[in-house]
Amino acid sequence: MNLSFDLHTHSTISDGALSPINLVKRAHEKGVNVLALTDHDAVDGVAEARGAAREVGIYLVSGVEISVTWRRGVVHIVGLNIDTENPQLLEGLEEMRRRRELRAKKIAQKLEKFGIADAYEGAMEMGACDALTRTHFARLLVERGHAKDMQDAFNRWLGRKAKAYVGGEWASLREAVTWINDAGGQSVIAHPIRYKYTLTKLGELISEFKDYGGVAMEVVSSSHNVQERARMGQVAIRQGLLASAGSDFHSPGNPRIDLGQYLKLPSGVQPVWHDWDLPDDLSDADVPKAADA
Ligand code: AMP
Ligand code: MN
Ligand code: MN
Ligand code: MN
C-alpha cells in the first residue's frame, strides 16, 4: 500500500484551529495514514489524538515542535516518536510555556501603547491553552479590525520589525535536541527554507544539530516550493540527514495547505520513517487521495 505521511501539524493545544480529535478526523478524510501531531512546545494533545487515530486506523506519531533561539534568530525543531511522559522533556516544555506567557504579556503591553486594550485576555479567548503564540494575537487583531488578515497582522504588528514584535528567548539548540533524544525521539529541523539562511549558515546549523544528536530535516514542507524541496533533498543527502515531510497545517481554509497533500519526498533521500515499525493493517481512507505534486 502507498502510505501517506504528514509529520508536522498543529491542534488547538497550540495555535491550530482544530481540536486533536477533529484534526485526526480531517487527516483521515484526506487520506493520511501516518500523522504526527507537533504542537508548539506542548504534547498535551497527543493522548486525545491517539484515541481518535485508533478509531479511524491512522498511525499516530507523538510529536512536538520546539522553539529554539539560535544565533539571535529562531529555529524550530520537531521531535517525532517522543515519550510524552518523559520528565526531562515535560520539564523543558513547561519552562517554554512559562516564557511564552511572559512574552505574551510583553506583546500585550506593546499593543496597549497603540490603544489596543486587554490584548492578553483577548488572545487567550482566541482558542488558547497555556501556550500563547503570535497566531493568537494575530487572530485577535483581525477580529478587532486592526488587520485585514493574518498576514497583515504579522506585517503590521507581530512580525520582526513590526510595531508589537517581541522576540522571545527560547530553548538552546542543544537543549531542544537533548530533550527530544532523552524522550527517545528523533529530532528534525523544521522548514529550513523559512530561515532564509545561506547554504553556509544552514550547513553550520546542521553540523551543530548533528553534534547534539539530531538526525533529520524537513525536505518537504508547505513552506518549500518544488525547487526548494529538490535543493533541501540534496542538502539532506550530502549531510547524511534523514528526510521528513509535513504540511505544518494550522487550519482549514487554505487550499494550498492541507493535511497530507503535496507531501511526496523527492527521490534519493532516506525517509525519516525508513526504520519505523509501522503496522501493516493501516486502513485505506474512504476518500480518494489527491495526486501528490
Ligand atoms: P510564535 O512561536 O509565538 O513566535 O508564533 C509563531 C507562529 O506564528 C508560527 O508557528 C506560525 O504559525 C505563525 N506565523 C508566523 N508568521 C506568520 C505569518 N506571516 N502569517 C501567518 N502566521 C504566521
Ligand atoms: Mn504555528
Ligand atoms: Mn514552525
Ligand atoms: Mn509548525
Q: Transcribe 164-184 into DSSP letters.
A: T------B-HHHHHHHHHHTT
Reference 209, options 231, 232, 234, 192; nearest CA is 192
- In percent, the amount of the chain with pLDDT more than 90 equals 90
Identify the DSSP state of 249.
B
Query: Which residues lie closer than 8 Å to 80 by C-beta, 6 or more apart?
Result: 7, 36, 38, 61, 62, 63, 185, 186, 188, 216, 244, 272
Atom 19 of ligand 1, nearest CA residue? 151
Assign 285 a pLDDT band (cuts: 50, 70, 90).
low
- In percent, the amount of the chain with pLDDT more than 70 equals 96
Indicate if the pLDDT at residue 128 is higher than 70.
Answer: no
The pTM of this model reads: 0.95
Indicate if the pLDDT at residue 103 is higher than 60.
Answer: yes
Instruction: Output the CA 117–ligand 3 centroid distance in Å.
Output: 28
Tell me which residues have their CB closer than 6 angstroms to ligand 1.
15, 40, 67, 133-135, 150-151, 154, 250
- Nearest-Å Rg of the Cα atoms of the chain is 18
Instruction: Output the CA 36–ligand 2 centroid distance in Å.
Output: 15
Q: Which ligand is nearest to the CA of 14?
A: 2
Instruction: Output the CA 12–ligand 2 centroid distance in Å.
Output: 10
Indicate if the pLDDT at residue 83 is higher than 80.
Answer: yes
Q: Which ligand is nearest to the CA of 100?
A: 1
Average pLDDT over residues 71-93: 97
Q: Which is more confidently placed, 238 or 169? A: 238
Atom 20 of ligand 1, nearest CA residue? 151
Instruction: Output the CA 136–ligand 1 centroid distance in Å.
Output: 9
Which atom of ligand 1 lies nearest, measured to the CA of 67? 2
Paired with 176 in beta bridges are none
**20 and 11 Cβ atoms separated by less than 8 Å:** yes
pLDDT of residue 292: 47
Instruction: Output the CA 2–ligand 4 centroid distance in Å.
Output: 25
pLDDT of residue 255: 84
pLDDT of residue 168: 86
pLDDT of residue 283: 65
5-30: pLDDT as tens digits: 999 999 999 999 999 999 999 999 99
Assign 291 a pLDDT band (cuts: 50, 70, 90).
very low
Q: Considering the chain, what is the average pLDDT of its residues?
A: 94
**104 and 126 Cβ atoms separated by less than 8 Å:** no
Atom 14 of ligand 1, nearest CA residue? 135
Assign 2 a pLDDT band (cuts: 50, 70, 90).
confident
Indicate if the pLDDT at residue 290 is higher than 60.
Answer: no
Atom 9 of ligand 1, nearest CA residue? 135
Q: Which whole-number Å values give the CA distances from 266 to 144, 156, 213, 220, 275, in the listed order?
A: 43, 36, 24, 8, 18
Average pLDDT over residues 25-40: 97
Lowest mean pLDDT among 85-99, 119-133, 214-228: 119-133
248-273: pLDDT as tens digits: 999 998 888 999 999 999 999 999 99
pLDDT of residue 67: 98
The x, y and z cell numbers of residue 279, run together, are 503496522
Phi, psi angle pair for 145, to nearest 5°: 80, 15
183-230: pLDDT as tens digits: 999 999 999 999 999 999 999 999 999 999 999 999 999 999 999 999
Indicate if the pLDDT at residue 289 is higher than 80.
Answer: no
Assign 55 a pLDDT band (cuts: 50, 70, 90).
very high
pLDDT of residue 284: 61
